[in-house]
Amino acid sequence: MTHESDIFNHLLKFGSITSLEIANKYYITAPHGVIRDLRKRLGYDAITDEWQTKKKVVVQDNGKLKEVTVRYKRYFLQKFEGDGIC
């Protein structure tokens, strides 16, 4: 399977995917590139995105806790009609 088909199948099954999920689950380090290629193939309005944020507590080098905000994109597959790419 190609990266494109992995992400497309995930979008078909779940409706959305985050850039963090793409990196962690599929080991793709440039998720925007795969999404760009899917948009070229399916049409630019087939996949939309929105920025999301999440607060996370991290341990600093000095041992203190610090709350940071993580920003990432969530990609959504719009209603899709067609044979797909698989």
Structure tokens at 54: 């999440």
Per-residue pLDDT at 26 exceeds 70: yes
pLDDT at 80: 59
Over 60: is that where the pLDDT of 85 sits?
no
User: What would the mean pLDDT of 20-28 be, rounded to a whole number?
Assistant: 94
Specify the pLDDT at position 44: 85
- Cβ neighbour number for residue 52 with a 10 Å cutoff: 13
Helices and strands (DSSP H and E) totals, the chain: 3, 3
pLDDT attached to residue 50: 96
Q: In the prediction, which pLDDT does 79 show?
A: 72
For 39, the 3-state DSSP assignment is helix
Would the pTM of this model clear 0.85, i.e. be above it?
no
